[in-house]
Structures are given as C-alpha cells and as structure tokens.
Amino acid sequence: MSRRTVTAAALVLACFLPVAGCGGDGPRRGPVGPPSARGETAAPAGGSPFWVDPESDAARQVRAYEAGGRAEDAKVLRRIADRPVADWPAGDDPVPEITRAVRGAAAQDRTAVFVAYNIPHRDCGMYSAGGAHDAGAYRAWIDSFAAALGESAAIVVLEPDAVPHLVDGCTPAGYHDERYGLLAEAVDRLKRQPRTRVYLDAGNPAWIDDPGRLVEPLRRAGVARADGFALNVSNFQTTDRVREFGAALSGLLGGAHFAVDTSRNGDGPLPGDRADAWCNPPGRALGVPPTDRTGDGLVDAYLWIKRPGDSDGTCRGGPAAGTWWPEYALGLARRARG
C-alpha cells in the first residue's frame, strides 16, 4: 500500500481487497462511508478517539493541491486527510513507522490504529502477494511490531484475509496448521501489550456468506483471547449488512465484539454480480467516519482500515496495490455524504 514506508511488494490488500477468484466479491473487498440514502444508521455525532496522521498521503496531497492552486480539490480531499486511517507498517521493519505513530498519538492522547499484514503465503499469490519468508520470520516480525507498540493505546487489525482464505480454500491445505498457529501466537504476543486491542479479520458477508463457517477457524486462530473480530476490511458492503452478519457471527462466538471498516462503503458495493467488484470499483463513496460511538453494543468501532485512495491493484487503470491514487481518492471524497 504504498503507505509512505511500505513498498508495493509488501502492500496489503490484494485478495482482501482483492483477488478475483478468491470468492464472492473477492477478498476484502470494500470499505465504508457515511449513512447512505438506503437508511443506514449513522454513527452518533461527536469526535473520534483515534489519531490523525498529519503526514498521510492524503494530507500531503492536500498540501500539494493548495500549493498548486487547486483549493476546491484540497477542500474536498480533507474529508480523508482530516480523519484517522489505519497504518499498515512495512513487512521488512515495522518499528520506525509504529514508533512514529504511537508517539504522535500519545502526544494528543489518542489511539493509533494499525494493520498487521505480513503472514506467510499472503493473499494466495495475488495482487498483495508476499508476507514473511517463513514462520520464524513472522514470529520475529510480530514480536518487533508488538514491542514497538509499548504501553501506548493502540488497535491492531490482525492479518486481513488470512482466516477467510483458509475457509474458502484459496490457501493450500499444507499451510493451514502453520497459519492457525501463527495467528494464535500473534494474538497472544500483541495482547501482552497492556493497552493494545486486537481484532482478527473475518472477511465480509459477500465473501464467506455463512457465519457458521468462520466459527471454528476463528477459534483456532485465537479469537477468544483477542478483543474480537474485524469485518469488511477493504470491502464495500453496507454498514447495515455487515452489522447484521457480525451480530450473527458474534452469537456463534459467545458474544464476541467486532469492528467494521467503513472507509469506502458509503454507497455500498458495485451493483451487479461482478467478479472484480472489490477492485477499484467506480462510483463508490466514503462511509461513516471513524468513531467508537457506534450505537451498537457489539460494534466497538467504525474504522477506516483500508486507506481511502490506496489502490486495490492494477485493475480499472489503477496503480499497484496499496499505491496512493489521488484521482480515486477525490472521487470517494466528492461522493461522501458527510
């Protein structure tokens, strides 16, 4: 995701945003936005406890637009730049980026939001292929990731697509036991940090449409020791649909809480049953702004986990997965309803 310090190869979100052929609309696959005309419930008004990165791609783009005389575009893009988005630390060394973020957040008494995305055999070899070289490398990476969080307030969304790809068969069976073990160990390591909350990714209802199929995989991955699960990462399913699915999955998991990615779901998914509906779909909009005031006892937060404006991959004229794409970002922001 071409976040500032992440290389395209390490970028996130391929199948999760993205992989045609990985199931449903493709993994990931669709972010969120403000309440839509479809009657979605808006998050209660009132601020966000999450940190806004002053050096995000969107913030730097705003400054570039202002310097170039594009004042109106700069104003529109502030709908992204002035809101908190998740950080996806690099797969080689996550420490510098995490350290910068937690220090910035601590100075403002805010919570930094991160995505840990480096599991071996990531994304089934698709747009966001890559990840740690082997299990040992992943353990070392997670350990350094967790240590860098220290005692700061943080949320970590753990390994988008990793569990759903086990469920849909995209990840070869020979890797399953290792992945379950690594995810469970990652939960335990991250939870050693006193103020870190961890949410295991569980895909979206257009991908694994039967919540019952996710129950045992999430248990094996350590969800009982996490703070819950995450839904709709990099996808576009409506908030109401995701909440309904999440409530059903929660009931099967003994009342587990969850977080929802609302970064690009303001207008829901691309109409029609299209295999590539998750990949840079046109006409989408920002969703409900990040908040922990969800009005739902099971939903801990609406988060912008997928960074609005980062490409899903080289489809529909987009750059490499995770690369900042200002034109797409402007479209999302212009169509936002709030």
Residues with a catalytic annotation lie at 123, 161, 312
Nearest to 200 by CA among 87, 115, 95: 115
* Helices and strands in the chain, H and E counts: 9, 6
User: Which H helix or E strand runs over 58?
Assistant: helix 57-67
User: Which H helix or E strand runs over 230?
Assistant: strand 228-231
- Cα dihedral 112→303→31→57 (10° resolution): -30
What is the C-alpha separation between 68 and 74, in angstroms, rounded? 10
What is the C-alpha separation between 148 and 136, in angstroms, rounded? 19
Angle, CA 64 vertex, CA 154 and CA 17 arms, to 5° = 50
What is the C-alpha separation between 338 and 198, in angstroms, rounded? 28
